[in-house]
Amino acid sequence: MPVSALQPERREWCAQLRELASGRLRPLAEKGEPGRVNRPLVAALGEFGLLARVFPAPGEDRVSALDLCLLRESLAMECTEAETALALQGLGAYPVVQSGSREQRERWIPEVVAGRAVAAFALSEPGAGSDAAALVLAAEPDGEAGWRLSGEKCWISNAPEADFYTVFARTGEGAGARGVTAFLVPADRPGLSGEHLDMLSPHPIGTVCFDGVPVSRADLLGEPGHGFGVAMRTLNLFRPSVGAFAVGMAQAALDATLAHAARRTAFGGPLKDLQSVSHQLAEMATRTEAARLLVHAAAAAYDSDAPDIAKRSAMAKLLATETAQYVVDAAVQIHGARALQHGHLLEHLYREVRAPRIYEGATEVQRTIIAKELYR
Protein backbone atom coordinates (compact mmCIF):
# COMPACT_ATOMS: atom_id res chain seq x y z
CA MET A 1 0.00 0.00 0.00
CA PRO A 2 1.42 3.41 -0.89
CA VAL A 3 0.11 5.02 2.29
CA SER A 4 3.16 6.09 4.29
CA ALA A 5 1.19 6.27 7.53
CA LEU A 6 0.90 2.48 7.69
CA GLN A 7 3.37 0.80 9.99
CA PRO A 8 6.02 -1.36 8.27
CA GLU A 9 4.53 -4.56 9.68
CA ARG A 10 1.13 -3.74 8.20
CA ARG A 11 2.66 -2.95 4.81
CA GLU A 12 4.50 -6.28 4.93
CA TRP A 13 1.30 -8.07 5.88
CA CYS A 14 -0.48 -6.53 2.89
CA ALA A 15 2.30 -7.70 0.58
CA GLN A 16 2.01 -11.23 1.98
CA LEU A 17 -1.75 -11.16 1.47
CA ARG A 18 -1.37 -10.18 -2.17
CA GLU A 19 1.14 -12.97 -2.73
CA LEU A 20 -1.17 -15.50 -1.07
CA ALA A 21 -4.14 -14.29 -3.10
CA SER A 22 -2.34 -14.49 -6.44
CA GLY A 23 -0.50 -17.75 -5.78
CA ARG A 24 -2.93 -19.84 -3.74
CA LEU A 25 -6.42 -18.34 -3.88
CA ARG A 26 -6.73 -17.22 -7.49
CA PRO A 27 -6.25 -20.77 -8.88
CA LEU A 28 -9.11 -21.97 -6.66
CA ALA A 29 -11.26 -19.02 -7.76
CA GLU A 30 -10.64 -19.81 -11.43
CA LYS A 31 -11.93 -23.36 -10.92
CA GLY A 32 -15.18 -22.12 -9.41
CA GLU A 33 -18.49 -21.72 -11.23
CA PRO A 34 -19.58 -18.07 -11.59
CA GLY A 35 -22.66 -17.31 -9.54
CA ARG A 36 -22.18 -20.26 -7.19
CA VAL A 37 -20.58 -20.58 -3.75
CA ASN A 38 -17.00 -21.78 -4.18
CA ARG A 39 -16.64 -23.96 -1.10
CA PRO A 40 -13.00 -24.96 -1.76
CA LEU A 41 -12.14 -21.25 -1.88
CA VAL A 42 -14.05 -20.56 1.34
CA ALA A 43 -12.29 -23.51 2.99
CA ALA A 44 -8.90 -22.12 1.89
CA LEU A 45 -9.76 -18.75 3.43
CA GLY A 46 -10.32 -20.61 6.67
CA GLU A 47 -7.21 -22.79 6.31
CA PHE A 48 -4.96 -19.76 5.78
CA GLY A 49 -6.44 -17.97 8.81
CA LEU A 50 -7.97 -15.13 6.82
CA LEU A 51 -11.53 -15.64 8.01
CA ALA A 52 -10.32 -15.46 11.60
CA ARG A 53 -9.19 -11.88 10.91
CA VAL A 54 -12.78 -10.86 10.15
CA PHE A 55 -13.98 -11.66 13.67
CA PRO A 56 -12.78 -10.63 17.14
CA ALA A 57 -9.88 -12.64 18.52
CA PRO A 58 -10.53 -14.79 21.63
CA GLY A 59 -10.94 -12.50 24.61
CA GLU A 60 -11.65 -9.46 22.42
CA ASP A 61 -15.08 -7.93 21.79
CA ARG A 62 -14.42 -6.32 18.41
CA VAL A 63 -12.35 -6.57 15.26
CA SER A 64 -9.95 -3.94 13.91
CA ALA A 65 -11.76 -2.12 11.11
CA LEU A 66 -8.43 -0.95 9.69
CA ASP A 67 -7.10 -4.51 9.49
CA LEU A 68 -10.35 -5.59 7.86
CA CYS A 69 -9.98 -2.82 5.27
CA LEU A 70 -6.35 -3.72 4.56
CA LEU A 71 -7.32 -7.38 4.22
CA ARG A 72 -10.14 -6.67 1.78
CA GLU A 73 -8.13 -4.20 -0.30
CA SER A 74 -5.15 -6.56 -0.57
CA LEU A 75 -7.26 -9.53 -1.63
CA ALA A 76 -9.23 -7.41 -4.11
CA MET A 77 -6.06 -6.34 -5.88
CA GLU A 78 -5.28 -9.97 -6.78
CA CYS A 79 -8.48 -12.03 -6.51
CA THR A 80 -11.88 -10.38 -6.21
CA GLU A 81 -13.59 -13.75 -5.75
CA ALA A 82 -11.54 -14.45 -2.61
CA GLU A 83 -12.24 -10.97 -1.28
CA THR A 84 -15.97 -11.33 -1.82
CA ALA A 85 -16.15 -14.81 -0.32
CA LEU A 86 -14.38 -13.52 2.79
CA ALA A 87 -16.55 -10.41 3.09
CA LEU A 88 -19.79 -12.35 2.74
CA GLN A 89 -18.77 -14.66 5.58
CA GLY A 90 -18.22 -11.62 7.76
CA LEU A 91 -21.41 -9.85 6.77
CA GLY A 92 -23.58 -12.91 7.32
CA ALA A 93 -22.03 -13.99 10.60
CA TYR A 94 -21.09 -10.72 12.31
CA PRO A 95 -24.64 -10.21 13.68
CA VAL A 96 -24.18 -13.54 15.47
CA VAL A 97 -20.93 -12.28 17.01
CA GLN A 98 -22.39 -8.98 18.18
CA SER A 99 -25.92 -10.03 19.18
CA GLY A 100 -26.12 -13.82 19.27
CA SER A 101 -26.39 -16.05 22.32
CA ARG A 102 -23.45 -18.07 23.57
CA GLU A 103 -25.02 -21.19 22.11
CA GLN A 104 -25.41 -19.55 18.69
CA ARG A 105 -21.85 -18.28 18.68
CA GLU A 106 -20.41 -21.62 19.79
CA ARG A 107 -22.45 -23.49 17.17
CA TRP A 108 -21.75 -21.33 14.12
CA ILE A 109 -18.77 -19.00 14.45
CA PRO A 110 -16.05 -21.71 14.62
CA GLU A 111 -17.59 -23.29 11.52
CA VAL A 112 -17.62 -19.96 9.66
CA VAL A 113 -14.04 -19.14 10.69
CA ALA A 114 -12.88 -22.57 9.51
CA GLY A 115 -14.62 -22.12 6.16
CA ARG A 116 -16.90 -25.09 6.74
CA ALA A 117 -20.19 -23.14 7.05
CA VAL A 118 -21.37 -20.47 4.61
CA ALA A 119 -23.24 -17.48 6.04
CA ALA A 120 -25.68 -15.02 4.45
CA PHE A 121 -27.10 -11.60 5.44
CA ALA A 122 -30.79 -11.55 4.46
CA LEU A 123 -32.07 -7.98 4.67
CA SER A 124 -33.16 -6.86 1.17
CA GLU A 125 -36.56 -7.69 -0.28
CA PRO A 126 -38.23 -7.18 -3.68
CA GLY A 127 -39.85 -4.00 -2.33
CA ALA A 128 -37.31 -3.02 0.33
CA GLY A 129 -33.78 -2.52 -0.94
CA SER A 130 -32.46 0.95 -0.23
CA ASP A 131 -35.40 1.56 2.14
CA ALA A 132 -34.52 -1.41 4.30
CA ALA A 133 -36.83 -0.32 7.14
CA ALA A 134 -39.77 -0.92 4.77
CA LEU A 135 -39.25 -4.70 4.80
CA VAL A 136 -42.41 -6.78 5.01
CA LEU A 137 -41.19 -10.33 5.70
CA ALA A 138 -43.66 -11.32 8.41
CA ALA A 139 -42.83 -13.04 11.67
CA GLU A 140 -46.26 -14.17 12.82
CA PRO A 141 -46.64 -15.29 16.46
CA ASP A 142 -46.91 -19.07 16.80
CA GLY A 143 -48.19 -19.53 20.33
CA GLU A 144 -45.54 -20.54 22.84
CA ALA A 145 -43.32 -21.92 20.08
CA GLY A 146 -42.20 -18.53 18.78
CA TRP A 147 -42.90 -17.23 15.26
CA ARG A 148 -43.35 -18.38 11.69
CA LEU A 149 -41.64 -16.47 8.89
CA SER A 150 -43.54 -15.85 5.67
CA GLY A 151 -42.36 -13.85 2.66
CA GLU A 152 -39.33 -13.42 0.43
CA LYS A 153 -35.83 -12.01 0.57
CA CYS A 154 -34.16 -11.03 -2.68
CA TRP A 155 -30.64 -10.21 -3.93
CA ILE A 156 -29.14 -12.13 -1.01
CA SER A 157 -25.46 -12.96 -1.46
CA ASN A 158 -24.64 -16.67 -0.97
CA ALA A 159 -28.34 -17.58 -1.36
CA PRO A 160 -29.69 -20.15 -1.76
CA GLU A 161 -26.55 -22.16 -0.91
CA ALA A 162 -25.78 -20.71 2.54
CA ASP A 163 -25.81 -22.95 5.59
CA PHE A 164 -27.53 -20.30 7.72
CA TYR A 165 -29.07 -16.87 7.27
CA THR A 166 -29.21 -13.77 9.41
CA VAL A 167 -32.83 -12.81 8.68
CA PHE A 168 -34.59 -9.55 9.45
CA ALA A 169 -38.37 -9.83 9.81
CA ARG A 170 -41.25 -7.69 10.96
CA THR A 171 -42.55 -8.63 14.41
CA GLY A 172 -44.61 -5.45 14.74
CA GLU A 173 -43.40 -3.82 17.96
CA GLY A 174 -43.65 -0.49 16.14
CA ALA A 175 -43.68 1.17 12.74
CA GLY A 176 -40.71 1.12 10.36
CA ALA A 177 -37.38 0.16 11.88
CA ARG A 178 -38.87 -0.21 15.36
CA GLY A 179 -40.82 -3.31 14.39
CA VAL A 180 -37.93 -5.36 12.96
CA THR A 181 -36.38 -8.38 14.66
CA ALA A 182 -33.25 -10.35 13.70
CA PHE A 183 -33.19 -14.16 13.64
CA LEU A 184 -30.56 -16.81 12.93
CA VAL A 185 -32.20 -19.30 10.58
CA PRO A 186 -30.39 -22.53 9.61
CA ALA A 187 -30.88 -23.49 5.98
CA ASP A 188 -32.45 -26.86 6.81
CA ARG A 189 -35.55 -25.36 8.45
CA PRO A 190 -38.82 -26.64 6.94
CA GLY A 191 -40.46 -24.18 4.58
CA LEU A 192 -37.17 -22.52 3.57
CA SER A 193 -36.27 -22.51 -0.14
CA GLY A 194 -34.67 -20.28 -2.75
CA GLU A 195 -33.22 -19.97 -6.20
CA HIS A 196 -30.19 -18.49 -7.89
CA LEU A 197 -30.30 -15.16 -9.71
CA ASP A 198 -28.22 -14.62 -12.84
CA MET A 199 -26.60 -11.22 -12.17
CA LEU A 200 -23.95 -9.07 -13.83
CA SER A 201 -21.41 -9.55 -11.05
CA PRO A 202 -19.99 -13.09 -10.78
CA HIS A 203 -20.50 -13.72 -7.06
CA PRO A 204 -23.34 -15.97 -5.79
CA ILE A 205 -26.67 -14.24 -5.23
CA GLY A 206 -30.27 -15.40 -5.06
CA THR A 207 -33.65 -15.32 -3.42
CA VAL A 208 -34.79 -16.91 -0.17
CA CYS A 209 -38.44 -17.86 0.29
CA PHE A 210 -40.08 -18.44 3.68
CA ASP A 211 -43.24 -20.52 3.80
CA GLY A 212 -44.16 -20.61 7.47
CA VAL A 213 -40.56 -21.22 8.56
CA PRO A 214 -40.54 -21.87 12.33
CA VAL A 215 -38.25 -19.82 14.59
CA SER A 216 -38.12 -19.63 18.37
CA ARG A 217 -36.66 -17.37 21.02
CA ALA A 218 -33.49 -19.47 20.79
CA ASP A 219 -33.10 -18.15 17.22
CA LEU A 220 -33.29 -14.47 18.19
CA LEU A 221 -30.31 -12.22 17.54
CA GLY A 222 -30.82 -9.60 20.23
CA GLU A 223 -34.25 -8.59 21.45
CA PRO A 224 -37.53 -8.49 19.53
CA GLY A 225 -38.00 -5.12 17.86
CA HIS A 226 -34.28 -4.28 17.90
CA GLY A 227 -33.22 -6.06 14.73
CA PHE A 228 -32.71 -2.93 12.66
CA GLY A 229 -29.98 -1.85 15.06
CA VAL A 230 -28.32 -5.23 14.60
CA ALA A 231 -28.28 -4.63 10.85
CA MET A 232 -27.00 -1.05 11.07
CA ARG A 233 -24.19 -1.87 13.50
CA THR A 234 -23.02 -4.58 11.12
CA LEU A 235 -23.15 -2.22 8.16
CA ASN A 236 -21.26 0.51 10.03
CA LEU A 237 -18.33 -1.92 10.28
CA PHE A 238 -18.56 -3.34 6.78
CA ARG A 239 -19.31 -0.15 4.81
CA PRO A 240 -15.76 1.22 5.09
CA SER A 241 -14.42 -2.17 4.08
CA VAL A 242 -16.70 -2.19 1.01
CA GLY A 243 -14.80 0.99 0.23
CA ALA A 244 -11.56 -0.93 0.73
CA PHE A 245 -12.76 -3.58 -1.73
CA ALA A 246 -13.45 -0.79 -4.23
CA VAL A 247 -10.02 0.76 -3.65
CA GLY A 248 -8.40 -2.62 -4.29
CA MET A 249 -10.20 -2.93 -7.61
CA ALA A 250 -9.27 0.65 -8.54
CA GLN A 251 -5.62 -0.02 -7.70
CA ALA A 252 -5.60 -3.21 -9.77
CA ALA A 253 -7.07 -1.33 -12.73
CA LEU A 254 -4.59 1.52 -12.28
CA ASP A 255 -1.60 -0.83 -12.09
CA ALA A 256 -2.69 -2.65 -15.24
CA THR A 257 -3.14 0.65 -17.06
CA LEU A 258 0.23 2.04 -16.02
CA ALA A 259 1.90 -1.07 -17.41
CA HIS A 260 -0.17 -0.96 -20.60
CA ALA A 261 0.48 2.74 -21.23
CA ALA A 262 4.22 2.21 -20.83
CA ARG A 263 4.49 -0.59 -23.39
CA ARG A 264 1.74 0.23 -25.89
CA THR A 265 2.86 2.52 -28.72
CA ALA A 266 0.69 4.88 -30.71
CA PHE A 267 1.39 8.02 -32.75
CA GLY A 268 5.12 7.44 -32.64
CA GLY A 269 5.66 6.70 -28.95
CA PRO A 270 4.29 5.04 -25.79
CA LEU A 271 0.78 5.96 -24.70
CA LYS A 272 2.10 7.37 -21.43
CA ASP A 273 3.79 10.20 -23.35
CA LEU A 274 0.49 11.44 -24.72
CA GLN A 275 -0.71 14.26 -22.51
CA SER A 276 -4.34 13.12 -22.69
CA VAL A 277 -3.32 9.71 -21.36
CA SER A 278 -0.81 10.90 -18.76
CA HIS A 279 -3.31 13.38 -17.30
CA GLN A 280 -5.92 10.63 -17.12
CA LEU A 281 -3.46 8.38 -15.28
CA ALA A 282 -2.68 11.19 -12.85
CA GLU A 283 -6.39 11.69 -12.17
CA MET A 284 -6.95 7.97 -11.66
CA ALA A 285 -4.04 7.72 -9.21
CA THR A 286 -5.09 10.82 -7.25
CA ARG A 287 -8.68 9.72 -6.86
CA THR A 288 -7.64 6.21 -5.82
CA GLU A 289 -5.32 7.53 -3.14
CA ALA A 290 -7.95 9.98 -1.87
CA ALA A 291 -10.48 7.16 -1.58
CA ARG A 292 -7.95 4.98 0.24
CA LEU A 293 -7.23 7.71 2.78
CA LEU A 294 -10.93 8.28 3.45
CA VAL A 295 -11.47 4.54 3.92
CA HIS A 296 -8.61 4.40 6.42
CA ALA A 297 -9.98 7.45 8.25
CA ALA A 298 -13.39 5.80 8.55
CA ALA A 299 -11.78 2.61 9.85
CA ALA A 300 -9.81 4.61 12.40
CA ALA A 301 -13.02 6.31 13.51
CA TYR A 302 -14.66 2.92 14.04
CA ASP A 303 -11.66 1.59 15.96
CA SER A 304 -11.61 4.63 18.26
CA ASP A 305 -15.39 4.69 18.87
CA ALA A 306 -15.65 8.14 17.34
CA PRO A 307 -19.12 9.71 17.57
CA ASP A 308 -19.34 10.22 13.80
CA ILE A 309 -18.82 6.61 12.70
CA ALA A 310 -22.00 6.53 10.61
CA LYS A 311 -21.04 9.66 8.67
CA ARG A 312 -17.46 8.57 8.06
CA SER A 313 -18.51 5.07 7.02
CA ALA A 314 -20.99 6.49 4.54
CA MET A 315 -18.43 8.94 3.16
CA ALA A 316 -15.87 6.17 2.69
CA LYS A 317 -18.24 3.86 0.87
CA LEU A 318 -19.60 6.69 -1.27
CA LEU A 319 -16.26 8.06 -2.44
CA ALA A 320 -14.49 4.73 -2.83
CA THR A 321 -17.17 2.96 -4.85
CA GLU A 322 -17.77 5.94 -7.14
CA THR A 323 -14.01 6.32 -7.58
CA ALA A 324 -13.56 2.65 -8.46
CA GLN A 325 -16.26 2.90 -11.11
CA TYR A 326 -14.48 5.91 -12.64
CA VAL A 327 -11.02 4.35 -12.51
CA VAL A 328 -12.05 1.00 -14.01
CA ASP A 329 -14.01 2.74 -16.76
CA ALA A 330 -11.04 5.01 -17.56
CA ALA A 331 -8.74 1.98 -17.59
CA VAL A 332 -10.98 0.24 -20.12
CA GLN A 333 -10.94 3.36 -22.29
CA ILE A 334 -7.14 3.55 -22.31
CA HIS A 335 -6.79 -0.17 -23.05
CA GLY A 336 -9.33 -0.06 -25.84
CA ALA A 337 -11.21 -3.05 -27.24
CA ARG A 338 -8.86 -5.64 -25.74
CA ALA A 339 -10.18 -4.76 -22.26
CA LEU A 340 -13.67 -5.89 -23.26
CA GLN A 341 -12.60 -9.39 -24.20
CA HIS A 342 -13.95 -12.09 -21.94
CA GLY A 343 -11.22 -13.18 -19.54
CA HIS A 344 -9.36 -9.87 -19.52
CA LEU A 345 -8.70 -8.45 -16.04
CA LEU A 346 -10.55 -5.24 -16.85
CA GLU A 347 -13.54 -7.07 -18.30
CA HIS A 348 -13.74 -8.91 -14.99
CA LEU A 349 -13.35 -5.73 -12.93
CA TYR A 350 -15.90 -3.93 -15.09
CA ARG A 351 -18.50 -6.50 -14.07
CA GLU A 352 -17.41 -6.56 -10.44
CA VAL A 353 -17.19 -2.81 -9.85
CA ARG A 354 -20.81 -1.91 -10.55
CA ALA A 355 -22.56 -3.75 -7.71
CA PRO A 356 -20.78 -2.08 -4.72
CA ARG A 357 -22.40 1.24 -5.66
CA ILE A 358 -25.73 -0.43 -4.84
CA TYR A 359 -25.32 -3.05 -2.12
CA GLU A 360 -24.98 -2.30 1.61
CA GLY A 361 -26.62 1.05 0.92
CA ALA A 362 -26.67 2.63 -2.54
CA THR A 363 -24.74 5.79 -3.30
CA GLU A 364 -27.90 7.85 -2.84
CA VAL A 365 -28.50 6.30 0.58
CA GLN A 366 -24.95 7.17 1.64
CA ARG A 367 -25.54 10.81 0.64
CA THR A 368 -28.75 10.82 2.69
CA ILE A 369 -26.92 9.43 5.73
CA ILE A 370 -24.14 12.00 5.40
CA ALA A 371 -26.59 14.90 5.08
CA LYS A 372 -28.56 13.81 8.14
CA GLU A 373 -25.40 13.34 10.17
CA LEU A 374 -24.19 16.84 9.27
CA TYR A 375 -27.20 18.25 11.16
CA ARG A 376 -27.16 15.80 14.04
The 10s digit of each residue's pLDDT in 291-301 is 999 999 999 99
360 is catalytic: yes
Please state whether the predicted TM-score (pTM) of the whole model is above 0.85. yes
User: 304: number of CA atoms within 13 Å, CB side?
Assistant: 10
Q: Where are the beta strands (DSSP E) in 258-375?
A: 265-266, 269-270
pLDDT along the chain (376 residues), means of 10: 69 96 98 96 98 90 92 98 97 96 97 98 91 90 93 97 97 85 98 96 94 97 95 90 97 98 95 97 98 96 93 96 98 97 96 94 95 94
pLDDT of residue 59: 81
pLDDT of residue 177: 81
| Contact between residue 121 and residue 48 where contact means Cβ atoms under 8 Å apart | no
pLDDT of residue 2: 43
> Of 81, 106, 360, 364, which is the active-site residue?
360
Catalogue all structural domains in the chain, each as residue range(s) with its CATH number.
8-113 (1.10.540.10), 119-228 (2.40.110.10), 232-374 (1.20.140.10)
CA angle, residues 216, 58, 316, in degrees to nearest 5 = 80
Exposed / middle / buried, residue 133 (Cβ in 10 Å: 0-12, 13-18, 19+)? middle
| Contact between residue 121 and residue 91 where contact means Cβ atoms under 8 Å apart | yes
147-157 and 164-170: which strand pairing?
A: unpaired
